[in-house]
Structure 1
Amino acid sequence: MTVDDRARTRRSSLSLPEYLPLEHWKTIGEQIFAINDSSAWWLGDWLVFGQQSYPNRYRDAIEQTSLDYQTLRNYAWIARKFPPSRRRDGLSLQHHAEVAALPAEEQDRWLERAEMLAWSRNELRRHLRVARGGRAVAVATEDVQVTASAEQCDRWEKAAQHMASDLNDWMIRKVDEAAATALGPEAVDDADRSALPDPSVASE
């Protein structure tokens, strides 16, 4: 998988000839997108190989590079969940991540639906939440990065599967339960109510 010879690529730049036909420009963009989309899978497979081939040395080797181990570990977790034969070329690694905690049959069913209906990652997530009986309400969200050992991640994943839950939703629920214990249930209920739309606005 390469970029058209008309494009001169460097680590921090892309140079194109002044007179470039539209179709060639379009093709180069598609090639770049494909490489970018594939690189997460490649990195995941690369780390899985390192974990299997150099179990006592791969972590030290990664620390000597500029690669972020937490990100790599996330990619590797998804790569292990989906061997190449079960990956869908029409969907991103992020699509696969949304269903990674589900049983294999459900993973395949949701990914097939997402590919057939051309859902974005966020659309797939929304449909998953609705299917689980969650609120289909648009609220502000923030991404939170958690540093945990591989053993902890595996244990959390098994617990989520045991509860027939998505790992992300399971973790949020458990953190909310801990917050309710620490702050009292009223504090958590107030936070939940503040995330809901104003009924007076919704009824207009």
Structure 2
Amino acid sequence: MNAITTIEAAPLAPLDDWVAKGRSLVAQRLDVDWKIADWMAEGKDAGHLSQAKFDFLSDNLGLAPRRLKDALKAALHFPPALRDASLSVEHHAAVASLPKDEALPLLKRASSEHLQVQDLREAVTQRRYETGALFDDEDTDTTLCTLVVRAWNRATPDARESFMQLARTVNFGIIDEDEVNDVEE
């Protein structure tokens, strides 16, 4: 009995089927992200959310506090009827600070032009700068980032180089201003 059994691998799925499966997985991911966003909104309505609770949820869900805050912002500003199914919760959160009549066309553009979230954030920052609109107090990271960007853009190339060197020296941590002044003298 010297029979040899040959095991053949299952045939590979055609490219179209494989891509369709990927699209389905992405759609499921977007759907789950919106379910999390809506769950966050329910928690806010029930009075369950505070900064401590965001930290608690972050630790227990494995999601960054910023991501949780973005999810909440998107769910509160865009009810299901106003959501673009081809865009992420983060896309919607990026434009949530704009009036709906400006945010919705920007989301449509993001969908048709396949814009990244960062592209939307830059467009929103530019629009708010043009109109003189203030940033939400709760959006501290965006406000601080905008201030750093503006300072960076006003700085000379030598100042930018010095800043980057300092930032690398402290491994992009806190730069002690007293130590910086001691080095310059």
Q: TM-score range by the shorter chain?
A: 0.5 to 0.7
CA distance in 2, matches of 1:33, 1:107: 23
Within 5 A, what are the aligned runs for 1:156-175? Answer: 156-157=138-139, 168=142, 170-174=143-147
Would the alpha carbon gap of residues 30 and 45 (structure 1) be closer, same or farther in structure 2, given more than 3 Å must change?
Answer: same
Secondary structure of the 1:37 match is helix
Q: CA deviation at 1:20?
A: 4.0
Match of 1:68 in 2: 63
Q: Which runs of 5+ in 1 are unaligned?
A: 1-16, 135-152, 161-166, 196-204
Runs of 4 or more, structure 1, over 6 Å off, are none
Would the alpha carbon gap of residues 117 and 24 (structure 1) be closer, same or farther in structure 2, given more than 3 Å must change?
Answer: closer
Q: CA deviation at 1:80?
A: 0.9
Would the alpha carbon gap of residues 46 and 192 (structure 1) be closer, same or farther in structure 2, given more than 3 Å must change?
Answer: farther
Query: Are the counterparts in 1 of residues 37 and 72 from structure 2 also a CA contact under 8 Å?
Result: yes
The size of the alignment, in residue pairs, is 144
Within 5 A, what are the aligned runs for 1:100-139? Answer: 100-125=96-121, 127-128=123-124
Q: CA deviation at 1:55?
A: 2.9
Confirm or deny that 1:189 pairs with 2:185.
no
Deviates more, 1:92-101 or 1:124-133: 124-133
The superposition leaves residues 110-138 of structure 1 with CA deviations (integer Å, 9 ceiling, x where unpaired) of 1122223343434444555666679xxxx
CA distance in 2, matches of 1:192, 1:93: 39
Q: Which runs of 5+ in 2 are unaligned?
A: 1-8, 162-185
Match of 1:40 in 2: 33
The amino acid of 1:66's aligned partner reads: L
Match of 2:95 in 1: 99
Choose which of 35, 44, 56 in structure 2 pairs with 1:51.
44
Q: CA deviation at 1:105?
A: 1.0
What is the alpha-carbon root mean square deviation over aligned residues? 4.1
CA distance in 2, matches of 1:155, 1:133: 16
Q: CA deviation at 1:176?
A: 6.9
CA distance in 1, matches of 2:100, 2:25: 31
The amino acid of 1:171's aligned partner reads: L
Would the alpha carbon gap of residues 66 and 128 (structure 1) be closer, same or farther in structure 2, given more than 3 Å must change?
Answer: closer
Match of 1:155 in 2: 137
Q: CA deviation at 1:193?
A: 6.2
Would the alpha carbon gap of residues 30 and 87 (structure 1) be closer, same or farther in structure 2, given more than 3 Å must change?
Answer: same
The alignment's TM-score, normalised by the length of structure 1, stands at: 0.52
Name the structure where helix makes up a greater proportion of residues.
2
